[in-house]
Structure 1
């Protein structure tokens, strides 16, 4: 008898069979497990944030924020202020960063390698370092309390220079111009000098050469730097809080913090969602603008030489302006923070200097009896918590980033898994730190089944830190894995090594240098970041960045500046270590 033909499989059945087959592969299992972890760390907090605002008692917050008599002060005016600060930060960062990149890469000014080094330091500092330095110099008597250095020297400081959008935008520009500098300098370093010289031989003016040859090459870097600076300016919390809140200059981030810290969590969560959407739109615009541009080939098989511009009589003025910008954004703020932490009376250099705020004991004559930071148990506890938090997040994000990167780069027979992992791992980059902190409170601030509430614990700080830094860890892991040939791993397979044996014995040692560099950068991010932890840290679980903000808010300027110096030393020291271990010369240092 003829046998019956096998039943035809439906499309759904085929896909199910393929999924079952894929899940028998170790790499696919690893990818599914890491996707589950990313879902818990990234997707679940965002879903919990939205869900909280849609539950009974939270839905009214949407109307309060968008369409009520309170909307003007809750949303529209802070959003306008945020956009104003973002635009000013983007414009200032692009102009200053682009100018310094041109000076360092394209001119022959002596000491330009040192200019390049100093121009990268502000980005390694916490953003509130520059805000505190500005306040120490320009603070006037508008809101009472101690005044700044200039007022103490008899110089009248106008209100618009001491508080509000001008100092907020100026200090954010001084912080984020380093990002534009690095992007534009790398792009300028790839401009072939032979092309520029050939254009000049045809009679083209210097301006036309710059417009038609150099500018198209660096335009994508300029756009990327400007949009990233805009996004950071919109979402930054601590600088508007220090220099704007005293005069009621609110941004979205400060309104969000105020709502949640006063118990108005539903409206705070709605503002968090708004801030996330704004940041995501900015990043999407950045991707569209830079990804859709024409490509300009600057690296070819033929060697090209760098071209330096002879400034002639303009050399000294240009050099003076470049050094002035670097001094005002790097050298002077550092000196102000150190010196102002040593003054007996706040920001008054004529009162004499003392080490009390560093090593002194409890004395009612100083800071209402608070001891120096090196004798203060709370500061020492916060230092230990901060360093331990940075190490734990660096290790956790490093391991998870390596596993995710491995699943992305080594997955075969599956298209959706690597793509999904890549998208989910990138999502935290679109979420401002303070909004991500709010999302973790919404998701883990209450018990979930057998899991107790994590709010106020060290665990929630570590989990939030891993979630916030996973984009950097994944990209570091992917970059390191791209340098490891699959042949090396295939040899281990032939020797009978399993998946985790290969990762531990082959992949990890070969990528250790790149992973360590990425881990150090994650460590620095956690040590200097305030936006992420300002809602999560508690008095029982202090960290240095939050204590700095609290001391500044309470007008304990010397203590705030001293703690900031400690954070800056840790951050800059770790960054320099990472650069040295990375072993890659900066492009503007070549042929110096």
Structure 2
């Protein structure tokens, strides 16, 4: 009887709709995502590499290899999460729930800092506050004759400030969306009952927004602990190590086993706090904020505090959006960071090689390495946008059209796994898997193909989410009708789904393009002189003291990223509910 039952289950499984598609999708994401992560674990469990675990965790070097970097990493994570929730929550409250002037402007500006790469903000900070402790050029403030203390120029404090300035947009977006669901009737009823503003905030607004606050904190924490650029530019010169920079250092000097152990531990730290945040959120889902009644927009009157609060909000937005970009542009034109506003020159952009300037380095438009990196970076972005969109569409189609079952759950879990993996750890996993030949296949390290594969896999969660959104726009009845007439899967996808959802797919592809063009953490370990990328070149130039070149390259990255993002927003034509009247 049990045999018959098993046989019947097998036939039912084989006959389940979408089985072939699910198996194909599972094989693709298994190779792209699960394979590298399993390989990096296997590399540390071989007899000759098992020693790396004890070296990192309990050996005589463990304090410098792991425990001090872990302490710095957690300090950055908690500090950034706290700062982002405070700033993002403050701006979200002003934009959504008060009568602050120019709400739309503040709301738009508060979403922009995440478009600016963290290494761009770190470079701008260095151009302003760099002192002479590590040699080389000093920043603008010290150039004016003011002594910049070490704690402000290097280490934990500037890294915290830069990462908060970069990530608070995430907290703002999540919290603002939650505050937009607060029923104004509840607020008005509390006001009629005589409740004071502080009581309304603590008794109504905060409980509703708490899940979003926790989500914003966990997202910004994960971003901070996995960030490589800011700690590398502002911390490494004074030997402040985080897990991300220590991982990079181990791989760079050839101690790959120790590097892989640190990568696994970094993944566990990031995943644990994301899981903890999700657990807290899942326990707070009892607040119903959307009812069948129409909500009315009623905002707190700020009274005399209206203009001071607007000034504070505008100052935060200007300092984190306009000022960093302006500093980078000025620094790319100035002869040195200490003289940002005088003797501007176009040498770092269009100048020819001169022995008296920058050790003979020509401007970026005449620099073969930078021009090559520009072409490779744009080509990588376009390639990943194409491959990522295709794979995301397949994943979304398999999950949206053929719901339920064990395979669907497995596909869903694996496709969103990269969200738990810091970029630099994911890059290390790809080196572990593809850095050596696999059977008849040659090693891919240093090739364009490896960059495309790693970036495509790392961005599968974003591409799958975009694909799911556009799939839901197309009625399943159309696909079913075409299937009944004998149209195959690829035919239905190419003739129905893609044409009807082309604008959404294009917008999603542009977002993927932007993410990889400005990324440093993922590609910094995959960089080779034969396969240069703009973000890594900017980091290398900054590390070697060529500040103007680093800033000029970063401006190019910003122009490409912002242009593509604005085009994506135009295609999406999404409305932000918290900006509506």
* Residue 13 (structure 1) aligns with: 7
Matches of 2:337 and 2:195, distance apart in 1: 58
| Partner residue of 1:425 out of 412, 415, 422 | 415
Q: How does 1:361-376 map to 2 (within 5 A)?
A: 361-376=352-367
* 3-state DSSP of counterpart to 2:44: helix
> How big is each residue's C-alpha offset from its partner over 1:432-464, in whole Å with a ceiling of 9 and x where there is no partner?
000000000000000000100000000000000
Q: 1:188 maps to which residue?
A: 179
What TM-score does the superposition give when structure 2 sets the normalisation length? 0.98
- CA distance in 2 between counterparts of 1:588 and 1:352 reads 45
Correspondence for 2:53 among 62, 66, 77? 62
Report 1:477-516 matches (<5 A).
477-516=467-506
Say if 2:226 is the partner of 1:232: no
> What is residue 3 of structure 1 aligned with on the other side?
none
Q: Following the alignment from structure 2 to structure 1, what is the Cα–Cα distance between the partners of residues 216 and 36?
A: 29
CA distance in 1, matches of 2:337, 2:122: 16
2:126 counterpart of 1:126: no
1:220-243 Cα offsets, whole Å, 9 max, x none, are 111101111111111111110000
Aligned partner of 1:91 in structure 2 is 82
Instruction: State the shift of 1:349 in Å.
Output: 3.2
Partner of 2:241: 250
Please state how far the C-alpha of 1:350 moved relative to its aligned partner: 6.2
Matched, 1:541 2:531: yes
Name the structure 2 match of 1:587.
Answer: 577
CA distance in 2, matches of 1:579, 1:291: 31
Whether 1:562 aligns to 2:552 is yes
Please provide the CA RMSD for this pair.
1.3
Shift of 1:410: 1.6
Deviation at 1:80, TM superposition (A): 0.4
Choose which of 288, 309, 330 in structure 1 pairs with 2:300.
Answer: 309
Shift of 1:306: 1.4
Deviations 1:449-495 (A, max 9, x none): 01000000000000000110000111111122122222122221233
**Residue 352 of structure 2 corresponds to residue 358 of structure 1:** no
Which of 152, 155, 171 in structure 1 is aligned with 2:143?
A: 152
Aligned residue runs from structure 1 range 16-27, under 5 A: 16-22=10-16, 25=17, 27=18
Q: TM-score, normalised by structure 1?
A: 0.96
2:325 is the alignment partner of 1:324? no
Judge which range, 76-85 or 113-122, deviates more. 113-122
Instruction: State the match for 1:397 in structure 2.
Output: 388
Aligned to 1:520: 510
C-alpha contact (below 8 Å) 1:477/1:515 kept by paired residues? yes
Within 5 Å, give how 1:202-351 maps onto structure 2: 202-349=193-340
Partner of 1:448: 438
Deviation at 1:14, TM superposition (A): 3.7
1:532 alignment partner, one of 522, 526, 529: 522
CA shift at 1:120, angstroms? 0.9
How far does residue 551 in structure 1 lie from its aligned partner after superposition? 0.3
**For each residue in 1:335-363, what CA deviation from the matched residue of structure 2 results, as whole angstroms up to 9, or x when unmatched?**
11110111113331365110110111111
Offset of 1:288 from its aligned partner? Answer: 0.9
Asked if 1:53 is matched to 2:53, the reply is: no
**Distance (Å, rounded) in 1 between the aligned partners of 2:342 and 2:396:** 57
Map Cα deviations across residues 512-551 of structure 1 (whole Å, 9 max, x no partner). 2222222111111100100000000101000000000000
User: Do the aligned residues in 1 keep the contact of 2:144 with 2:338 (CA within 8 Å)?
Assistant: no
* C-alpha deviation, 1:8, in angstroms: 6.2
Aligned residues: 581
How far the C-alpha of 1:294 sits from its partner, in A, is 2.9
Residue aligned with 1:585, SS:
coil
Task: Give the 3-state SS of the residue equivalent to 1:353 in structure 2.
Answer: coil
Distance 2:450 2:47 in 1: 26
Q: CA deviation at 1:496?
A: 2.5
Offset of residue 384 of structure 1: 0.8
Q: Give 1:457's match in structure 2, choosing from 421, 439, 447.
A: 447
Equivalent position SS for 2:340: strand
CA distance in 1, matches of 2:409, 2:566: 34
Partner residue of 1:105? 96
- Structure 1's consecutive aligned runs of 4 or more residues displaced over 6 angstroms after TM superposition are none
2:445 is paired with a residue whose SS is coil
The answer for the alignment partner of 2:400 in structure 1 is 409
SS at match of 1:58: coil
Paired with 1:140 and 1:11, the residues of 2 have a C-alpha distance of 75
CA distance in structure 1 between the aligned counterparts of 2:333 and 2:406, rounded to whole angstroms: 58
- Choose 300-309 or 174-183, whichever is displaced more: 300-309
SS in 1 for 2:550: helix
For 1:26-47, what per-residue CA distance to the aligned partner results, in whole angstroms no more than 9, with x for missing partners? x210110110011111111111
Aligned position for 1:469: 459
List gaps (5 residues or longer) in structure 2.
none
**Helix, strand or coil at the partner of 2:3:** coil
1:77 and 2:68 are equivalent in the alignment: yes
Unaligned runs of 5+ in 1: 1-6
